[in-house]
Structure 1
């Protein structure tokens, strides 16, 4: 694709999508979509990300719009339900949006909450869905001792794994040693997608599972290479994308030789609006294939002019780091 700033900016459609449930502290999700020779690509780094990090996401979007994806080895991929850090009485309503999902990822370690809030939320999931698999995601929100205490308090709910309980690779390695007897795997997300060296966590023996996301890792091909080199089982996840971005994640999951875990690609259910027919779970799975936005929805969900200007400035800042 032509990487000239003005021509890329002219191909960029910035949208703002309301969320059905507050997530990551926001009530609307902004994303930039690009059309290209192969289809559409999504660029949606979170607003606090600096240009160098945002450039990896941009690389993924331009690759996806500009070239064909690797050939898939499966037509659908199973996905988990994602439960934000809501109160117990809101759990059932959120989970009702996920058709047939057999795994629930529960957000924990939310700023402003305490361990008792996490225990109550997970207990409600287990009470409502006795047979579901439960995984936790702390987004690096605990220190080492807090993480150990939390895992010991929550392990009675039969956890599949705990994702990014601590922020740093040394903390993850130490925590993994401390809780080894509990037989609860440690998964790494931020220590992969935000690291200068995404393979460090594997070399350090700091995780049992890698969480990989196509956008933050620079695209489907880059993510496939990381999984192959790491030699660890991988979970494909998303970053609260539109259905265009979720389809990129599905393209990654569809191309992986092995897919031992349900994917975190069901987050379309957290959006109150989308740019296409929503790519949401049906029977606990989503299809592998490209998604193109509906022109009418692109227009209806277009961000205000000042936000478009903001994204054009982000694009100008990120391009030199490609």
Structure 2
């Protein structure tokens, strides 16, 4: 099937380095839902292995304190909040220090390790999308008590809703525990299952009054350090070689293409809301393939420990850390460094933000 012009536009969104744009916007707040890519500390409240509230996570954060963000410092959603002129950092909704005033300009409901598939969530013992949405409804009640119903509705209508999820589902169920695919028959059918559930969640946001919704695709999963490590030790084409897993990247591209189709369909149905696709695959792949272009010296390993497998509790104060994290694309074996996230956000500044705020 020949891609339409919007699909082609998203493909070329991130082929050039972003130019500077004004930080002011008409966006009132940011509300983020999903996994560790946008979790700014919610998982600190849960008994789960998926936590980043310990050093060396957060070592390059403004306070040099581990907040629960899965990076050495800020994550992309923090940079987006700053780009939009809203605030410097997007706090976690479950942060015990969160104030009502903080809430008025948005929070993250994200939960590291979460997924669209309930089996993913059960494995990680974190918050699913339905629980995150329930917390959003709770936050909306708080906002209404502070500013009244009319102003609260205005905040929601002019807010940016960001959804970033799906990678963990593919990691756990398609690759790490492939037996889970038996009930679906193929990865493609499993992706359809995920995307149908994701579409239902987006419609739920619309029903709650969201006027601007951005949905991130998945990264080139085969280029995550942990996946390259696993591929290199299993008998396969990648055995004993540290390369991106081509098939897993092909799967990621297929998922993203289907996601764009779902978004196009939703946009045609929901004419009074803007729904946009955020391509993170292309810029991450570009950084992996052309590190010098972005000032990186290492894009195949993480900065923490050996950089091959460490993440969460295994990335800790006993691990050696690379000399300069800004020269690394990945902080641990799954998550980007602060520098990597800043480049993703700058990509959004050039192409995504102008569309969603026009």
Provide the TM-score with structure 2 as the length reference. Answer: 0.29
TM-score w.r.t. structure 1 length? 0.31
> Whose strand fraction is larger, Structure 1's or Structure 2's?
1
- Structure number having the greater helix percentage: 2
Structure with larger RCO (C-alpha < 8 A, sep 6+): 1
